[in-house]
Structure 1
C-alpha cells in the first residue's frame, strides 16, 4: 500500500505540472524515478521509453504506467496511469464548460478565431519534429508522399497509416527473406486494425467506441490524434466542424499532462459530463491494456527487425496524414487575411525567435485575433 500511495502522489503531482508535451513529460519522469527516487537505473528507463514506441497510445502516459508497473506491479500501473490522467481531464472539462457557455458569444469568439490559426503553427512544429525523426530513408520519403496524396483525396487516415506499416513490413520482408518467422510477432500490433465503430448519432456508447478505436490504433505522437479525430468526428460522423476541432486541440494545450485529454473536452462539448467520462475512458483504456498485456513481449518485439520496420513505416505514415490534415485545416481556416497574418506571426515567433511553448503560442494567437477584430470593426 505504501508503494501505491507513493506512486499516486508522484504521478498526481506530475499530472498537475507536466506542461510541454511528451518529451518534457518523460524528462520530468526520468528526474523523479531515476535521479531522485532511484526506482530504476537509467538504462532500464531508456528501455521502457523505447518500448512505448512499439505499442499504440500516448508515450508519456504509457511511460507513467510502465514506471508504476515497475514500482508497484499491476496495481501500480493503474494507480500511476489514473493519477497522471485525472488532473488534465478535470482541467480540460472545466475549459470545456467555459467554451460551451461562452465560446460562441460575439465578445469571446474573436479569441478563438485567433487560436485556430495559432494551433496550425503548433501542429506544423510537431510535423517537423516527428518528420525529422521518422523519415530516415529514401523510401520513407516516397511512402510519406503517397500517404499525403491519398489522404488529401479522401483515403481514411487509419487505413493510410496501417497501409504504410504494411508496405514497410513488405519492404523489410523483401530485404530479409529469411525473417519470415518474425512476422508472427506482429500479430498483437495488428489486432487493433479490426476495430470498427459504425456510430451514426451522438450517444455515450457511441463516444466510447469511437474514442476506444482511436486509442487502439494511435501510433506515433499524441498530435496524430488530430488526424484521427478529423477523420472520425468531422468527416465521417459530422459531430464537429474543423474549427471546433482546432478549438478543442487548443484547449488541450492549456492543460498539463497528456494531450489526449482533448478527448475529455470533446466528450463534454458533445454530450455533457457523461460524454466527457465515456470519451476519456475510451481513449485511455487501450493504453492500460497494451502496457499490461504486452509488457512481457516487449524484449522480443524490440529485437525483431520486422517489428521495427513495421513501426518505422507507421510513424512515416503518421507524419504523412498529419501533413494532409494540416493542408485541409489551412484550406478551411485561411478564409481572410487576418487568419493568415496570425498564422504567419505565430510561426515567426515559434521558428525564428524560438518561442517553443505551445501555451504561449496559443495565447498570442488569441490576443492577436481579438486585437485584429478591434482594429477592423
Structure 2
C-alpha cells in the first residue's frame, strides 16, 4: 500500500464535492473515484481500489456508497470510513429533502419528466463512457477475465438483475485457475459475514417503525447498485404498504436520477413523502447503516489477506464479474431510456463531448441536457 498522500480533511472535502456534483449513478460514481483518487491524485492504489470494488459488489447495499466507505477506511480506518460515507451521502440527501418539500407544496412535479428526458439520455452517455474506461483499466488483456466480463454483462442484460452467485463463482474460478489452493495451508478466502434474514418482532404501531424495518431490509438484503433496489422498493412502497401511487414512485426514481450522489438516496425522497423529515431521516439511516456495517466489518480481512496470491486472484475474478454486471446494467438502462432518436442523439453527443473535451465537467453537460429536454418536451414535441 502506498504511503498516505492526503489528510482526512482532504478526503472529506473530496466526497462532499463528489456527493454534490457527481451525476450519473453508481457506474459513473465508481468511475469518478477511480479517475480522481487512483489515476489523478494517486491517493489510493489500484490494488486498494479493486479490493474495495470487489467488497462493495459482494456485500449487499448501494455500490458507490460502499466503495466510498471502503476508500475512507484504507488510510483512516473507522473514522475515515464513517466520515467519508457521511460526506458522500449528505449533499444529495439535503437536495432530495428540498425537492420533497417542493413536490408536496406544488402537488407534484410535472416538469420533472421533461428534465429527466434530457438528463436521462445524457446520464446514459456518461455511464457508458465511465464503464468503458473502467473495463479497459481493470481487465486489461486477460482473456479469462474478459470471458467472465462478457458472461456477466450478457446475463445481467437478459435477466435485468444482478446474479451474486455468478459473481462469487467468478472469484472462485479465477482463484482455482491462477492460484490453485493448497487446502492444508490456504487461508480462509471468503470470511465475509453471511447474512441470515431474520424477522424480529418490530412494532408496526407507527409509520416510522414500518419505514425503519422496510428500509433496513432494503439496505441489508438487496445486492448490487442503487438501481437494483428499485424493484424491491416498488414492491414494498407501492404494492405492500401503498404509501405512494405509481406516479409518485416514478417521480421518486426520477428525483434520484436528476440529483447527484448515490441513486439510493431516492429512499430519502420516499421517506419524506410518507412521513416528512423524520421519515426521510429514518429511511436514509435504515438503508445506509447496513451497507456501512457490511463494509467496515470485513474490511480488516481484505487489508490483511488482500495481497495473498489466492485472494488477489479471487478479487480479480470478482472485479471482472462486477464490472460486467455494471456494463449489463448500462445496457438495461439504455434500453429503457433511449426510446427515440432525440434521446439517442443526446446520449451520443454526451459521449463525444466527454471523450474529446476532457476538461468539460459533467454537471455542465447535465444542465445543458436538462434544458434541451425541457425544450423538446414543451416546445417541439
Do the two structures share a fold, i.e. TM-score over 0.5?
yes
Q: Work out whether residues 145 and 320 of structure 2, in 8 Å CA contact, stay in contact via their aligned partners in 1.
A: yes
| 1:369 correspondence with 2:337 | no
Q: Work out whether residues 175 and 317 of structure 2, in 8 Å CA contact, stay in contact via their aligned partners in 1.
A: no
**Structure 2 unmatched runs, 5+:** 1-6, 23-28, 57-62, 200-207, 240-245
Pick aligned residue for 1:184 from 169, 172, 188: 188
| 1:62 correspondence with 2:67 | no
Inter-CA distance 108–77: structure 2 relative to 1 (3 Å threshold): closer
| 1:151 correspondence with 2:156 | yes
Give the drift of 1:142: 1.4
| 1:280 correspondence with 2:284 | yes
Q: Secondary structure at the match of 1:177?
A: coil
Inter-CA distance 172–125: structure 2 relative to 1 (3 Å threshold): same
Tell me which residue corresponds to 1:133: 137
Inter-CA distance 80–47: structure 2 relative to 1 (3 Å threshold): same
Distance 2:315 2:333 in 1: 27
Give the drift of 1:351: 2.4
Pick aligned residue for 1:122 from 110, 120, 126: 126
Which segment is superposed worse, 311-320 or 112-121? 311-320
Residue correspondences, number: 339
Inter-CA distance 243–46: structure 2 relative to 1 (3 Å threshold): same
Give the drift of 1:298: 3.6
Q: Which has the higher contact order (CA 8 A, sep 6+)?
A: 2
- Greater share of helix: 1
Q: Work out whether residues 116 and 258 of structure 2, in 8 Å CA contact, stay in contact via their aligned partners in 1.
A: no
Give the drift of 1:134: 2.9
Give the drift of 1:267: 4.5
Tell me which residue corresponds to 1:232: 232
Pick aligned residue for 1:168 from 155, 168, 171: 171
Distance 2:68 2:305 in 1: 20
Pick aligned residue for 1:209 from 187, 212, 217: 217
Q: Secondary structure at the match of 1:186?
A: coil
Q: Work out whether residues 64 and 84 of structure 1, in 8 Å CA contact, stay in contact via their aligned partners in 2.
A: no
| 1:95 correspondence with 2:102 | no
Distance 2:35 2:94 in 1: 23
Q: How does 1:41-52 map onto structure 2 within 5 Å?
A: 52=52
Inter-CA distance 119–162: structure 2 relative to 1 (3 Å threshold): same
Give the drift of 1:338: 2.6
| 1:247 correspondence with 2:254 | yes
Inter-CA distance 51–318: structure 2 relative to 1 (3 Å threshold): closer
Distance 1:146 1:237 in 2: 33
Tell me which residue corresponds to 1:302: 306
Inter-CA distance 11–284: structure 2 relative to 1 (3 Å threshold): farther
Give the drift of 1:23: 7.0
Distance 1:183 1:230 in 2: 37
Cα-Cα RMSD:
4.1
Give the drift of 1:368: 0.8
Inter-CA distance 311–278: structure 2 relative to 1 (3 Å threshold): farther
Inter-CA distance 9–326: structure 2 relative to 1 (3 Å threshold): closer
Give the drift of 1:123: 1.9
Inter-CA distance 165–132: structure 2 relative to 1 (3 Å threshold): farther
Distance 1:135 1:237 in 2: 39
Which segment is superposed worse, 8-17 or 294-303? 8-17
Tell me which residue corresponds to 2:324: 320
The C-alpha deviation readout for 1:180-231, integer Å capped at 9, x for no partner, is: 3536231216x25x6699xxxx9512122112334xx55xxxxx433x2345
Q: Work out whether residues 196 and 213 of structure 1, in 8 Å CA contact, stay in contact via their aligned partners in 2.
A: no
Tell me which residue corresponds to 1:333: 337
Distance 1:47 1:341 in 2: 37
Which segment is superposed worse, 134-143 or 50-59? 50-59
Tell me which residue corresponds to 1:3: none
Give the drift of 1:175: 4.0
Give the drift of 1:148: 2.4
Give the drift of 1:146: 1.8
